Structure 1
C-alpha cells in the first residue's frame, strides 16, 4: 500500500489543526501557505474529514477549521482510512495460497497497528521535538 498525497496532506491538515487546538479556527489558506501546498487541493481533502466528524468548520471573517476531538482521540489510522480507504498492501482472494494470504494479512495488521496506535498528539509531540534535528556526531 502506498499512501498518496491525499493521506499525507490530510495528516498535515490534521496535525496543523491539532497543533492549534484550543486556539480557535485555522484557515486552509494559512495551512497551505505554511506547508507550501495547494489551498484548492486542501479544500478537497477537508470535506471528507468534516463529513466523518473529525473537523468542524467555523464560518465568518475569522472562521476556518478546528478538530472536533482531542488530539489524543484521533489516530493517523482514522485519517488515512477516511482519505485512502481500507488499509491493505495487496488485493487478494480466498483462492490465494494460504501462506501468502497469511503474509499479506500480517503485513496489513502490522501497518494498521502502527497507524491506529499513533495519535495526532503523538505526531505533534514528535514534530515538535527539536532535538531530533540537532544530533551532533563526533569522530
Structure 2
C-alpha cells in the first residue's frame, strides 16, 4: 500500500485553496508557486476534482478555483478518491483472489487495515487541517517568503531602472 504523489498533491492543493480562497478564486499558478507543484500536474488534478464537484472554476480576470463545499464538509478521503487514488493494503485490490484465485491467509487483516485507513481519512476535514498550528505556521512562512521575494524583486527592478536613467 502506498499513497502516491497524486493523492498527496491533491490534498496539499485543496488545503492551499481552502486557506487562500477567502478573497475569491485562487489560481493554479499561485498554488503551484506556493506549494512547488508543477502547474501542468495541478491542471490534471483539478480537472478530476472539478469532475467530482469538489471544486468549481471561475473564468475571466481574477478567475481561478473555489471550493464547491465548505471546508468542514470536504474530507481528505473524498479528495484522495476524487483523483482516483487507491489506498488498499491487500495484494489483490480487495477482490479476495490473492492466492491462485482464492482468498489468502491474511486477506482479512489487510482488508481491515484498508478499511481503517479509509475511515480515518474520511473523518478528517479540510477545516480540521486548516486549524492545525503547524499548518498555520507553514502558511505564514510561505506567505512571508512570497512577500519578501516580491519586495526583493521590486528593489532589483528599481535598481535596474535607476541605473538605466543615469
Same fold (TM over 0.5): yes
- Residue 13 of structure 1 is matched in structure 2 by 13
Q: After superposition, where does 1:39-54 map in structure 2 within 5 Å?
A: 39-54=39-54
Q: Secondary structure at the match of 1:29?
A: helix
TM-score by length of 2: 0.72
* 1:20-73 Cα shifts (integer Å, max 9, x gaps): 243210000000001112111111110000000000000011000000000000
Question: Unaligned stretches of 5+ in structure 1?
Answer: 131-139
Alignment counterpart, residue 102 of structure 1, candidates 102, 108, 124:
108
CA drift of 1:90 comes to 2.1
Let me know the Cα RMSD of the aligned residues. 1.6
Indicate the SS of the match to 2:66.
strand
Counterpart CA distance in 1 for 2:33 and 2:47 is 19
DSSP-derived class of the 1:57 partner: strand
Contact 2:90 2:111 in 1 (8 A): no
Count how many residue pairs are aligned between Structure 1 and Structure 2: 129
TM-score, normalization: structure 1?
A: 0.85
Residue number in structure 2 paired with 1:134? none
In the alignment, structure 2 segments of 5+ residues that lack a partner are 139-166
Whether contact under 8 Å (1:3, 1:84) holds in the other structure is no
What is the CA-CA distance between 1:11 and the residue it aligns to? 0.6
Q: Equivalent residue for 1:74?
A: 74
Higher alpha-carbon Rg = 2
